[in-house]
């Protein structure tokens, strides 16, 4: 069993040591809780559990910590992919829910598994997800101040369970002050992908990740026989050719964990029950 999570990027120039320590503490806590959960649950269930905890922490740009688009509204995207079923589900630009990744999980049971905007919100309402607009409205000015002063990033989790199944989940609140309706990579296979050989979750600039096809490229290269390290290396060389900004976490079917970023510093933590690693 293996697990790795990420919470976007940390900027030494714009973020304080206090914020850094808070993120390290939060990631360590969430990684440990998620690994305990993994002992009795599938990889797919675990990545949703971990990402929901990250969505509940306002330190990160997802769920209640989401950034605001140019019209003052919060639109979130999240996705889930499971190697056991080879299915992908997600929501794009959903509003007024606490945990978009839980809506993405519910969509795994549908024939139409990726919904956007009002359709995603209607589905959430019909399936018992509470409206979260009041809470988000109350925090909006606080979020705006944090975006301007600190910046945050997309969250994600990749897990390998005891039965050898892989899964990845990713959730985001966007870039911050982007054009209303802008779509990120997080609910696409460029930003979140898993098959029986490799699972990958990305963070960074969505347009660059989509242009590079980062997650699906890494997984495909591992499937075709490259080591996870070489798959990352080749994919990030191609990312550099377009001056792309991204980070990714991954686990392969052999249990190898890998992460890489184009710019310092991606916020991550990994745990296998013995060795714990966290960003510096």
Residue 277 confidence class, pLDDT cut points 50, 70, 90 = very high
Predicted confidence (pLDDT) per residue in 41-86, tens digit: 999 999 999 999 999 999 999 999 999 899 989 999 999 999 999 9
Written as six digits, the tokens of 165 are 């199944």
Catalytic member of 19, 154, 170, 235: 154
**Higher-scoring residue by pLDDT: 14, 222:** 222
Catalytic residue flag (residue 170)? no
Whether residue 140 is annotated as binding a ligand: the answer is no
Q: CA-to-CA distance for 109 and 33, rounded, in angstroms?
A: 26
What's 43's domain CATH number?
3.60.20.30
Whether residue 223 is annotated as binding a ligand: the answer is no
Q: CA-to-CA distance for 48 and 4, rounded, in angstroms?
A: 13
Whether residue 63 is annotated as binding a ligand: the answer is no
Whether residue 4 is annotated as binding a ligand: the answer is no
Domain span at residue 89 reads 2-278
Mean pLDDT value across residues 95-119: 97
**Mean pLDDT for all residues in the chain:** 93
Contact 38, 1 (CB under 8 A): yes
pTM for the model: 0.94
Number of structural domains (the chain) is 1
Residue 118 confidence class, pLDDT cut points 50, 70, 90 = very high
Q: CA-to-CA distance for 93 and 78, rounded, in angstroms?
A: 9
Whether residue 97 is annotated as binding a ligand: the answer is no
């Amino acid at each position: 069993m293996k697990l790795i999570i990420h919470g976007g990027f940390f900027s030494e120039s714009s973020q304080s040591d206090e914020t850094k320590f808070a993120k390290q503490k939060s990631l360590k806590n969430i990684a440990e809780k998620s690994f305990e959960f993994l002992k009795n649950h599938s990889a797919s269930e675990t990545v949703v559990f971990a990402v929901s905890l990250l969505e509940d922490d306002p330190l990160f740009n997802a769920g209640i910590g989401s950034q605001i688009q140019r019209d003052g509204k919060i639109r979130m995207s999240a996705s889930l992919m499971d190697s056991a079923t080879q299915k992908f589900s997600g929501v794009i630009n959903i509003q007024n829910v606490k945990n978009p990744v839980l809506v993405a999980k519910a969509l795994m049971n549908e024939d139409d598994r990726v919904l956007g905007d009002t359709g995603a919100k209607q589905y959430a309402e019909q399936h018992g997800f509470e409206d979260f607009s009041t809470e988000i409205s109350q925090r909006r000015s606080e979020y705006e101040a944090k975006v301007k002063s600190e910046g945050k990033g997309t969250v994600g989790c990749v897990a390998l369970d005891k039965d050898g199944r892989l899964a990845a989940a990713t959730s985001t609140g966007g870039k911050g002050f982007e054009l209303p309706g802008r779509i990120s990579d997080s609910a696409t296979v460029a930003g979140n992908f898993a098959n029986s050989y490799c699972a990958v979750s990305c963070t960074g600039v969505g347009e660059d990740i989509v242009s590079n096809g980062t997650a699906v490229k890494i997984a495909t290269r591992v499937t075709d026989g490259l080591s996870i390290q070489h798959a990352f290396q080749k994919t990030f060389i191609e990312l550099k050719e377009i001056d792309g900004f991204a980070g990714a976490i991954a686990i392969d079917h052999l249990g190898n964990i890998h992460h890489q970023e184009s710019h310092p510093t991606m916020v991550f933590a990994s745990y296998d029950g013995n060795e714990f690693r966290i960003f510096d």
